[in-house]
Structure 1
């Protein structure tokens, strides 16, 4: 799978959020089912999910149980979460419900990571955002002490 990291800034803060990515990847993102989970640390006892707003609180509760929800439900929650600081969102399309279509990770409000084999998704990311870097490997854990 290809891994891209989006570092676009606007006024010294990350210029995008989960709702922007879901909108960019529509209509497929709305048809997909999504698993919401935490970002693991190198210490198995620590993991993070953090988001702001009413939608962020609901997403955080869902992440604690690795909940699965529809794309439209995720989009509605993301619309009410001004910032996702830490979080992992794995999308599955109906025809291939066992293999992830795309994984979106929010990493410490520093960047968003997109992992997918879908060339259309990679193309949209590359043409929409300015500071897109190829990731050597997807973030699957974070060293303890790195988050604020």
Structure 2
């Protein structure tokens, strides 16, 4: 799978969120089946999911059980979420539940990571956002105790 990272900022804040990505990738994102889970880092005790707002609280609960939901249900929760800080969202096509189509990963409010082999998704991401960088591999480690500036 190819990995893209989106770093677009708006007034020093990440300029996109889960709801924006779901809208950009509609209608396929709305037709997909999704698993909501924590971001798993290299150390097993370091799994994170954090989101704010009413929808964010519901997403956090779902992530603890790796819950499955429809694309339209995920979009409704995302619309009711102020910000996804950490989270992983794995999509499969409605007819291919065992094959991953797309992974969206929010990483510490710093960037969104997209993993997919779908060339249409890669083109849409690259054309919709200004600061898109190729990732060598999906995020597995992150300095959780980074010094604050």
Query: Could you say which TM-score interval applies, normalised by the shorter chain?
Result: over 0.9
**How much has 1:82 moved relative to structure 2?**
1.2
> Is 1:99 the equivalent of 2:76?
no
User: Does the CA contact (< 8 Å) of 1:43 and 1:143 recur in 2?
Assistant: no
Counterpart contact for 1:41–1:143, Cα < 8 Å: no
- Confirm or deny: 8 A CA contact 2:6 2:129 kept in the other structure: yes
* Aligned residues between the structures: 148
When the two structures are superposed, what TM-score results if normalisation uses the length of structure 1?
Answer: 0.95
Check conservation: 1:43, 1:144, Cα contact below 8 A. Answer: no
Specify the alignment match of 1:117 in structure 2: 117
Match in the other structure for 1:52: 52
Once the two structures are TM-superposed, the CA of residue 40 in structure 1 deviates from its matched residue by 1.7
- The aligned counterpart of 1:127 is 127
Q: Which residue of 1 aligns with 2:79?
A: 79
The corresponding residue for 2:37 is 37
Q: Supply the RMSD in Å over aligned alpha carbons.
A: 1.5
Question: TM-score, with normalisation over the residues of structure 2?
Answer: 0.94
CA shift at 1:143, angstroms? Answer: 4.7
Distance 2:146 2:99 in 1: 30
Question: Is there any run of 5+ residues in structure 1 with no aligned partner, and where?
Answer: none
**Unmatched runs of 5 consecutive residues or more in structure 2:** none
Q: Identify the residue that residue 2 of structure 1 maps to in structure 2.
A: 2
Offset of 1:77 from its aligned partner?
A: 0.3
* Cα separation, 2, equivalents of 1:10 and 1:143: 24
The answer as to whether partners of 1:50 and 1:84 remain within 8 angstroms in 2 is: yes
